[in-house]
Structure 1
């Protein structure tokens, strides 16, 4: 088949070209070459080539009796980790001559977000991905994973969860690490010019009467993104509501950090929980832990707040306090294959800093 031969030839040329690259070659370019080689060598790409062969034979009419049984030797489709065998209903009938292939469609948008330089908080969205923490084996893009309610991005209304951010203020976010993307966003100032890519179409096979939808390999629903956020080194997000029995009652935890505080013990300039007061509201609730980062208080973003601003917001939060926090999961090798949250004394002491402020 011409397409498969072209792909094999392209892979051979790319592999040969990669060996000629040296350390002086731009890192992002070398990463792009590696990404393309990995894609051409992947099981998913090979399966797509097999499917294309089946479609060509069927749609061109060269062999109208071509059935799934005849395709079983060459077609082995994987979707979401499940093997769809030729005996499954989805491949149990030959494709109709009037079927047409629907390719995935993408739209590209320019989004400008502006924030008041005197306002507390950032732009109100979170990201995941990068070449060091890819969403999938063949997709190293930077994706929006969360829009903070009533934040800058939410009020603007254009940015959506699952949008891929291609550039920020004309700086490319393709083939970069997660930390490089975060650094670019944090150094962007009070205005972001984002170029984003959004999946809007379908891929699959359509008949005049119905459409069988199969998402593009790089498309993820918000639910899947949440699952990915809860694994590995990406922090998990959770919400806690604390209700004070009376107005002068404390929340039962101490904080440290802030945009105006630089300390090597903190992974970022955010607001972190340093201590849970025994018998306090947070202790009785049981979910908040030392080391958790406080992201929002009553929908006010604290990701770029100073220490004093965070203290003021918490003290003026009222009797019902809704908190959004993140927690970095840490691998534990106490038992083979187990993943547990780090709660030992050493990790707790890491956040017991002299700059903390008690809110109990």
Structure 2
């Protein structure tokens, strides 16, 4: 593993800059607060197949506390961006993860859309919605329908 986990949900992650950079976008700073009353720098988007996505530990919404030992407290957004741009090829991040996940036996991610039980639940919902809509339409049209005997 390429990092250490601390008790407070803080993890150290080392990334190697790829052709497209580190593979994520940041938001925040004293001039562009992303979280109310917090001037921190946060991960806004993880780019597909970028260094961060391939590593897998950095997630959207995580707060980046430091880059290469430079704390990101009370910085303008542009100053934080410059620190990331000039960080070099091997970048050490200290990150406070958005959610600290307890260790569990089983998948750590939500079920994919192609999971059979998810598909069955989705189909049940669509069927139920269709029945309700059809019933509503039939009740609304009943007074307008002429009966022929």
Partner of 1:137: 36
Q: Deviations over 1:282-339 (max 9, x none)?
A: xxxxxxxxxxxxxxxxxxxxxxxxxxxxxxxxxxxxxxxxxxxxxxxxxxxxxxxxxx
Report the structure, 1 or 2, having the larger strand content. Answer: 1
| Aligned equivalent of 2:50, options 151, 162, 173 | 151
CA distance in 2, matches of 1:172, 1:161: 19
Partner of 2:96: 197
Q: Is the 8 A contact 2:72 2:80 kept in 1?
A: yes
SS of residue matched to 2:84: helix
> In the TM superposition, what is the alpha-carbon distance from 1:191 to its structure 2 partner?
1.1
Q: Is the 8 A contact 2:40 2:74 kept in 1?
A: yes
CA distance in 1, matches of 2:38, 2:17: 31
Any runs of at least 4 consecutive aligned residues in structure 1 with deviations exceeding 6 A, and if so which? Answer: none
Partner of 1:188: 87
Partner of 1:56: none
Name which structure has the greater RCO, CA cutoff 8 Å, separation 6+. Answer: 2
Partner of 1:111: 13
Which residues of 2 match residues 1-360 of structure 1 at below 5 A? 106-115=8-17, 120-200=19-99
Q: Number of residues paired by the alignment? A: 94
CA distance in 1, matches of 2:8, 2:72: 18
SS of residue matched to 1:153: helix
Q: Name stretches of at least 5 consecutive residues in structure 2 with no aligned partner.
A: 1-6, 101-149
CA distance in 2, matches of 1:187, 1:134: 23
Q: CA RMSD in A?
A: 1.6
Q: Is the 8 A contact 1:106 1:198 kept in 2?
A: no
Q: Name stretches of at least 5 consecutive residues in structure 1 with no aligned partner.
A: 1-104, 202-360
> In the TM superposition, what is the alpha-carbon distance from 1:198 to its structure 2 partner?
1.5
Q: Structure 1 length normalisation: TM-score?
A: 0.25
SS of residue matched to 1:189: coil
